[in-house]
Amino acid sequence: MNYTQENTPIHEAIEYHKNTRVVHFDVPGHKGGRGNPELTKFLGEQCLKADVNSTKTLDNLIYPTSIIKGAEELAAEAFEAEAAFFMVNGTTAAVQSMIMSTCKAGDKIILPRNVHRSSINALVVCGAIPVYVNPGVDHQLGIPLGMGMKDIEEAIMKHPDAKAVLVNNPTYYGICSNLKGIVKLAHEHGMKVLVDEAHGAHFYFGEELPISAMAAGADMAAVSMHKSGGSLTQSSFLLCGKGIDSGYVRQIINLTQTTSGSYLLMASLDIARKQMYLHGKEIVAKTLELAEYARKEINRLGGYYAFSKELINEDTIYDFDRTKLSVNTTSLGLAGIEISDLLQEDYDILIEFGDIGNFLAVVSAGDRAFEIERLISSLADIKRRYSKDKADMLTYEYINPDVALSPQKAFYSDKRELPLVESVSYISGEFVMAYPPGIPILAPGERITQEIVDYILYAKDKGCVLTGPKDMTLEHINLVIDG
């Protein structure tokens, strides 16, 4: 069948299916909601009726031949990719599929140190070895940045046998790396470029935004359609560029993806793709307008710093996604997390997250003007009521990790606990992450040095939030029993 971007093949097939009044002796057992009245009352009859099963007419996510295939082809066209896959296990599954499609056990992959947990988990599953690159840190803001070209080049030269380079683009805060430059460099050395584009679905459809992974020539990208593309939570796209064997990628996806793919999630991807293709420009323009207005007003309040493109340095901050409303709060003497808590508890306003020095508010075309006013006015009121003297920031120095064991080997090894101060020269069995700036100090399989122990003690003393280890106080740490 010939579909156009006006079509939503999965959505249309479900609508048709509902109208045929087929009698169901298949799963799901709620049978259009009749089997679970309370759930039906809560979610609505239409929603339950659309919660259907793979059939001959509704295709199958494991091996699509009709409507899902059509919808995936439309998605590929919309994102200007060679192939697109509907993912119903979240962007986590998409990131893991990218890594597992390009790296086998023992293969090396170059990644920024502040990589998402899902990537490390993929390494645990497939047995690949990480080569970490210093992401760079803005010391004033206390946030990790993009990877610098020099650092990537150094990593590539040192590890010419690496199979792929993974890039976070944009970061949570909206910071972009030099994606085109990275693609060129990696391809010259025969490496694939994988982009964790969880926060960049809108890059494909809006104007005046940083370049998207596919446009930059990346080989694969994991795109959270549910974050800025308008689909339901947990739905996502995996995109492939030229030179990726999409049949093999499908096999990799099927290793871990459910065999009962949710048609609610798939239909939401289908409809969201159509909306972004047809109206993405206006949607992104409205988002930008709201975010720019909020940024301007928040910066006028004093004390807050809603940062934007002025940070661009042509390297670790190559570009900035202006739809992100990222705000630094250190001048107010308040942690971003404190402001996030105040907003939720006292002002009935929920924001995406706060760390020590910053918070991030997600703005979208779904926001209304008076809601933006509420956020700005609440920040004004918080400043009046709660601001205090500025606390001194910690100075962060990147510590180059010594990867002694693959994450897979470390994960499956027997472990024992020792006091942190006695752990030097052992191999860590767990993560140690410090906020700020949200970069791991240790990951499983890495050798502990005196420098690392000193830094953990220093970060603790400075009031950093340390996460990861079983012992939350970090008096003790789990170590790999070295064979």
Nearest to 480 by CA among 436, 441, 443, 427: 427
Q: How far is the CB of 351 from other proteins (least distance, A)?
A: 14
Q: How far is the CB of 49 from other proteins (least distance, A)?
A: 25
Q: Which stretch, 50-58, 210-218, 374-382, 405-413, contacts other proteins (CB under 8 A)?
A: 374-382
Please say which residue, 56 or 385, places its beta carbon nearer to other proteins: 385
Please say which residue, 129 or 376, places its beta carbon nearer to other proteins: 376
| H helix or E strand, kind and range, residue 86 | strand 83-87
Using CB under 8 A, which residues numbered 324 to 353 contact other proteins?
Answer: 346-348
Instruction: Report the residue from 378, 387, 467, 478 that binds other proteins according to the rule CB under 8 A.
Output: 378
Instruction: Report the residue from 21, 56, 385, 388 that binds other proteins according to the rule CB under 8 A.
Output: 385
SS3 207: coil
Asked whether position 161 contacts other proteins by CB under 8 A, the answer is no
Instruction: Report the residue from 56, 370, 389, 395 that binds other proteins according to the rule CB under 8 A.
Output: 370
Q: How far is the CB of 373 from other proteins (least distance, A)?
A: 5
Q: How far is the CB of 280 from other proteins (least distance, A)?
A: 24
Size of the site for other proteins (CB under 8 A): 14
Q: How far is the CB of 374 from other proteins (least distance, A)?
A: 5
Cα separation, 194 vs 213, in Å, equals: 8
Cα separation, 205 vs 77, in Å, equals: 12
Q: How far is the CB of 341 from other proteins (least distance, A)?
A: 14
Q: Which stretch, 48-56, 123-131, 236-244, 376-384, contacts other proteins (CB under 8 A)?
A: 376-384
Amino acid at 304: Y
Peptide bond connecting 37 to the previous residue in cis, omega within 30 degrees of 0? no
Query: CB of 432 within 8 A of CB of 440?
Result: yes
- Counting other chains too, the contacts that 465-472 makes at CB distance below 8 Å and 24 or more residues apart are 465/337, 465/355, 465/356, 465/434, 465/435, 466/432, 466/433, 466/434, 466/435, 467/431, 467/433, 467/435, 468/430, 468/431, 468/432, 468/433, 468/440, 468/442, 469/430, 469/431, 469/432, 470/417, 470/430, 471/417
Asked whether position 376 contacts other proteins by CB under 8 A, the answer is yes
Asked whether position 292 contacts other proteins by CB under 8 A, the answer is no
Q: How far is the CB of 278 from other proteins (least distance, A)?
A: 24
Amino acid at 263: Y
Cα separation, 111 vs 101, in Å, equals: 16
Query: CB of 126 within 8 A of CB of 70?
Result: no
Asked whether position 369 contacts other proteins by CB under 8 A, the answer is yes
Q: How far is the CB of 381 from other proteins (least distance, A)?
A: 4
SS3 416: strand
Q: How far is CA 395 from the centre of its chain?
A: 26
CA contacts within 13 A on the Cβ side of 28: 17
Please say which residue, 140 or 377, places its beta carbon nearer to other proteins: 377
Please say which residue, 245 or 373, places its beta carbon nearer to other proteins: 373
Cα separation, 329 vs 335, in Å, equals: 6
Contacts of 289 (CB under 8 A, 6+ apart): none
Asked whether position 380 contacts other proteins by CB under 8 A, the answer is yes
Please say which residue, 25 or 370, places its beta carbon nearer to other proteins: 370
Dihedral sign (CA 338, 344, 349, 351): positive
Please say which residue, 292 or 381, places its beta carbon nearer to other proteins: 381
Nearest to 317 by CA among 138, 161, 163, 447: 138
Q: Which stretch, 41-49, 162-170, 269-277, 381-389, contacts other proteins (CB under 8 A)?
A: 381-389
Per the structure block, which two tokens stand in for 23? 């009698």
Query: CB of 194 within 8 A of CB of 219?
Result: yes
SS3 456: helix
Instruction: Report the residue from 377, 400, 425, 450 that binds other proteins according to the rule CB under 8 A.
Output: 377
Instruction: Report the residue from 373, 397, 402, 471 that binds other proteins according to the rule CB under 8 A.
Output: 373
Q: How far is the CB of 288 from other proteins (least distance, A)?
A: 19
Q: How far is the CB of 384 from other proteins (least distance, A)?
A: 6
Please say which residue, 384 or 388, places its beta carbon nearer to other proteins: 384
Asked whether position 388 contacts other proteins by CB under 8 A, the answer is no
Q: Which stretch, 194-202, 245-253, 378-386, 450-458, contacts other proteins (CB under 8 A)?
A: 378-386
Please say which residue, 56 or 384, places its beta carbon nearer to other proteins: 384
Please say which residue, 26 or 289, places its beta carbon nearer to other proteins: 289
Amino acid at 59: D
Q: How far is the CB of 268 from other proteins (least distance, A)?
A: 27
Using CB under 8 A, which residues numbered 60 to 89 contact other proteins?
Answer: none
Instruction: Report the residue from 374, 415, 460, 462 that binds other proteins according to the rule CB under 8 A.
Output: 374
Per the structure block, which two tokens stand in for 316? 């670790």
Contacting residues toward other proteins, per CB under 8 A: 346-348, 369-370, 373-374, 376-378, 380-381, 384-385
